[in-house]
Amino acid sequence: MIRRCLHRCGLALGLSLVLPASADAALNVVGSRFIYPAQSDALSIRIGNGGQRPILVQAWLDRGDGSADPSTVQVPFVLSRPLSRVEPQEKYALQLRYTGEPLPDDRESLFWLNLLEVPSRDEGRDNLLLLSYRLRMKVLFRPRGLPGDPRAAAGQVAWRLLPAASPGKLAVLEADNRSPYHVSLTRLELREGDVAIALGHPTLPPFSRTPLPLPKPARAGARVHYEVVDDQGRIEVGVASTGPPVAEHP
């Protein structure tokens, strides 16, 4: 899912910091996450300015640390337009190219695309606070020839209830993703009858067990209800059973 974060500073882009504020985001992006097949020459990401004033757009990738300085992040991709002025109603394609740095060939690799929008200042309105908007979206690098169907990955996750590992710790719902694909959940709940425990929207890495802390222990028979996004951005709904509670973590 797209996450929007307000920032007062535009990472090397100056902003006015005098009240009152103007906070209308104009940046439009087609898609909420992107798949980069290893055999592709480039990935095109369509971007536009839906506002009435020019904007500056700064683009960069990171490996998961959203606070990292873009000038120091090392990723195996090159962006065609890392800094662009976009006129009102203008649309363009941001080109992302893989540089060939070795990545795991048995599973997807996750990167994050950052787009920072900085609005232009209106002449004669010096007392305006300009707020930048930052979008962060997943970019999944998919090696050639991965087995299985990515659409089936969520249904193959094994869910298990684990008690608190020690006094003062929380019980855990463990998600065991045994596929080579990232499972991007947009909603996750553990339900016992009419009681539902919301567990956010985690991303489950391939070949990994993800512990999800529970505010209270759950009984055997609790069921997992989830929504997952597929390669086309569609949301699919699923329900899964949990394995029986075990005595301790493996």
More confident residue, 221 or 113: 113
**Residue 24 pLDDT:** 63
pLDDT at residue 5 is higher than 80: no
**Residue 217 pLDDT:** 81
Burial of 167 by CB count in 10 Å (0-12 exposed, 13-18 middle, 19+ buried)?
exposed
- How many Cβ atoms sit within 10 Å of the Cβ of residue 145? 9
CA nearest to 182, candidates 217, 210, 215, 216: 210
**DSSP at 89:** T
More confident residue, 227 or 125: 227
Query: How far apart (Å, rounded) are the C-alpha atoms in residues 37 and 183?
Result: 17
The pLDDT confidence band at residue 170, using thresholds 50, 70 and 90, is confident
Structure tokens at 192: 């016992």
Query: How far apart (Å, rounded) are the C-alpha atoms in residues 148 and 85?
Result: 42
Determine the average pLDDT of the residues in 191-210.
95
pLDDT digits (tens, 9 = 90+) for 103-157: 999 999 999 999 999 887 766 555 566 678 899 999 999 999 999 999 999 999 9
Cis peptide leading into 82, omega within 30 of 0?
A: no
Query: How far apart (Å, rounded) are the C-alpha atoms in residues 47 and 86?
Result: 9
Determine the average pLDDT of the residues in 212-222.
87
Least confident of 3-17, 28-42, 223-237: 3-17
Query: How far apart (Å, rounded) are the C-alpha atoms in residues 153 and 108?
Result: 12
Structure tokens at 53: 């004033």
**Residue 87 pLDDT:** 96
The pLDDT confidence band at residue 160, using thresholds 50, 70 and 90, is very high
Assess contact for 5 and 115: CB atoms under 8 A. no
The pLDDT confidence band at residue 216, using thresholds 50, 70 and 90, is confident
Domains of the chain: 3-142 (2.60.40.10), 150-243 (2.60.40.10)
Q: What angle do CA 29, 30, 35 make, to 5 degrees?
A: 110
The pLDDT confidence band at residue 250, using thresholds 50, 70 and 90, is very low
